[in-house]
Structure 1
Amino acid sequence: MFDDLTHRVVQAPMAGTSTPELAVAVCEAGGLGFVALGALDAEGARKAIRAVRRGTDRAFGVNLFCHRPARRDPAQEAAWIDTLRPVFQRFGASPPMTLSEIYPSFRGNDAMLSVLLAERPAIVGCHFGLPTPEQIAALKGAGCKLWATATSVAEGQAIRDAGFDVIVAQGYEAGGHRGIFDPDSPDSRLDHLALVRALMPLGLPVVAAGAIMDRAAARAAMDAGAVAVQCGTAFLRAPEAATPPAHRAALSGGRTVMTRAISGRPARCLANDFTAIDDTGAADYPVAYDIGKALHAAAMAQGTAGYGAFWAGTGAAASIARPAADTVRAISP
Structure 2
Amino acid sequence: MNSFLQNLQIDLPIIQAPMAGTSTPQLAAAVSNAGGLGSIGLGASDAASARAMLAATRAATNRPFNVNLFCHAPARRDRERETAWLRRLAPRFEAFGAEPLQELQEPYTSFVADDAMLAALLEARPKVVSFHFGLPDGDRIEALRAIGATLFATATSLKEAETAVAAGVDAIVAQGFEAGGHRGVFDPAAPDDRLGTLALTRLLARRLDAPVIAAGGIMDGAGVAAALKLGAAAAQLGTAFIGCPESNADAAYRAALFSPSASHTIMTSAISGRPARCLANEFTRFGEEIADAPRPDYPIAYDAGKALNAAAKAKNHGGYGAQWAGQGAPLARAVPAAELMRSLRSELEEALRG
Output one character per residue of 1:18-63: Cα deviation in whole Å (capped at 9) or x when no partner: 0000011001100000111011110111111111111111111100
2:197 is matched with 192
SS of the aligned residue for 1:290 comes to: helix
Residues 1:44 and 2:78 are matched in the alignment: no
Output one character per residue of 1:178-221: Cα deviation in whole Å (capped at 9) or x when no partner: 00011111111111111011112111100000010112211111
Q: Paired residue for 2:67, among 62, 68, 86?
A: 62
1:94 Cα offset (Å): 2.4
Distance, in Å, in 2 between the alignment partners of 1:117 and 1:57 is: 18
- Quick check: 2:245–2:335 contact (8 Å CA) kept in 1? yes
1:224 Cα offset (Å): 0.6
1:6 Cα offset (Å): 2.0
SS of the aligned residue for 2:285 comes to: coil
Output one character per residue of 1:215-254: Cα deviation in whole Å (capped at 9) or x when no partner: 2211111111111010010000111111101100101221
1:296 is matched with 309
SS of the aligned residue for 1:230 comes to: strand
Residues 1:128 and 2:137 are matched in the alignment: no
- Quick check: 1:7–1:329 contact (8 Å CA) kept in 2? no
SS of the aligned residue for 2:282 comes to: coil
Q: Paired residue for 2:27, among 22, 25, 50?
A: 22
- Quick check: 2:10–2:64 contact (8 Å CA) kept in 1? no
When normalised by structure 2's length, the TM-score is 0.92
Distance, in Å, in 1 between the alignment partners of 2:13 and 2:106 is: 36
Distance, in Å, in 1 between the alignment partners of 2:168 and 2:180 is: 27
Residues 1:328 and 2:328 are matched in the alignment: no
Distance, in Å, in 1 between the alignment partners of 2:220 and 2:145 is: 34
- How many pairs are equivalent? 333
Distance, in Å, in 1 between the alignment partners of 2:64 and 2:97 is: 48
The gaps in structure 2 that reach 5 residues or longer are 349-354
Distance, in Å, in 1 between the alignment partners of 2:72 and 2:324 is: 19
Q: Paired residue for 1:248, among 242, 254, 259?
A: 254
Q: Paired residue for 2:87, among 68, 74, 82?
A: 82
Residues 1:226 and 2:232 are matched in the alignment: yes
2:319 is matched with 306
- Quick check: 1:95–1:291 contact (8 Å CA) kept in 2? no
Residues 1:264 and 2:273 are matched in the alignment: yes
Distance, in Å, in 2 between the alignment partners of 1:199 and 1:164 is: 14
Give the partner amino acid of 2:10: L
1:312 Cα offset (Å): 0.5
Output one character per residue of 1:107-147: Cα deviation in whole Å (capped at 9) or x when no partner: 02110000111110001000000011110111111111110
Percent identical: 54
1:91 Cα offset (Å): 1.1
The gaps in structure 1 that reach 5 residues or longer are none
1:329 Cα offset (Å): 2.7
1:274 is matched with 283
When normalised by structure 1's length, the TM-score is 0.98
1:142 is matched with 147
1:206 is matched with 212
Distance, in Å, in 2 between the alignment partners of 1:135 and 1:105 is: 13
SS of the aligned residue for 1:156 comes to: helix
